[in-house]
Amino acid sequence: MKLNQKAEVVHGKKKIYTDLVIAAHQDDVEIMCPQAVIKGYQSDKFGTVAVVTADGSGSPRAGEYATMSNEEMMVVRRLEQIAAAEVGEYSDLVLLNYTSGEIKDRSFVSIVDDYEEIIRNYKPEVIYTHNLADKHPTHVGVAVNCIKAIRRLPKELRPKKLYGCEVWRSLDWLSDTEKVVFDLTGYEKLMNDVLDVYASQIAGGKAYGIASLGRRAANATYAASHGVDVCEHAAYAMDLTPLIEDDSIDLKEFIVGKIKNFIDEILV
């Protein structure tokens, strides 16, 4: 693959590439997309490739990491992400090493070029990225660039499905008819293990493992008010597939439509 000069590809043992996760930061893959980690874990049919776009230089730091420079923090975050990929048995890990400023700059096309190259190379059946209602602007930037990259491709090279996942905003507000629900029951240990490697974030008070487990349990329990639970832990996603099937759909109008559906539902 011809990626930007700062990019790095860490190859796993598995040579199956059915699912691709395109994320902003180190640990976003493990927080937002446990369904892809589970799908590829110890599987002979499925394999997950993780793409991390940011370089980690802007990561929060405390404790033993408090005095680290941006360059030192980038090294720490790289090693943590590689460790997570090893625990989760990812097929490949692609580290693009862009700054958050570059990711949020909608006119910066190098990221779109890299995403397009990655998708052409791996030819995934399913792509997961951030959802368009995430409150972190870097996350939204990744999602927008991901859609731009897919729209450059001929239809035969596009994934069958594109999902927008939850990190810095839950998707429980989506209409039940619009939620994509992934059952994670039975994989709690694996999900904790891939997040426990992020010692630098845990030291900063970000207990992402506990928070993610709580969100997934809440998703399952509060899924239906008049029915028994059908799973113990669940992840939600927004189906972004229409945006790669019809290039004429405006991204802002698409997400506004979801919000309008929410308004209509609560103002009955």
pTM of the model: 0.95
Least Cα distance to 164 among 152, 151, 182, 188 occurs for 182
pLDDT at 229 over 80: no
Q: Residue 36's pLDDT is what? A: 97
Amino acid, res. 2 = K
42-99 pLDDT tens trace: 999 999 999 999 999 988 888 888 889 999 999 999 999 999 999 999 999 999 999 9
Cβ neighbors of 78 (< 8 A, separation 6 or more) are 8, 26, 56, 95
pLDDT at 226 over 70: no
Q: Residue 223's pLDDT is what? A: 81
Query: Phi/psi at 118 (nearest 5 deg)?
Result: -65, -45
pLDDT at 234 over 80: yes
What is the CB-side half-sphere exposure of residue 176 using CA atoms within 13 A?
8
Task: For Cα atoms 209, 92, 65, give the angle at the middle one, nearest 5 degrees.
Answer: 45
Q: Residue 194 to residues 19, 45, 59, 199, 209: CA-CA distances in angstroms?
A: 18, 21, 18, 11, 9
pLDDT at 268 over 80: no
Q: Residue 182's pLDDT is what? A: 95
193-208 pLDDT tens trace: 999 999 998 887 788 8
Which conformational region is residue 100 in: left (phi greater than 0), alpha (psi within -120 to 50 degrees), or beta?
A: alpha
Q: Which domains does the chain have, with CATH numbers?
A: 8-266 (3.40.50.10320)
130-155 pLDDT tens trace: 999 999 999 999 999 999 999 999 99
Stated as kind and residue range, the H or E segment containing 98 is: strand 92-98
Strands 92-98, 8-11: pairing kind: antiparallel
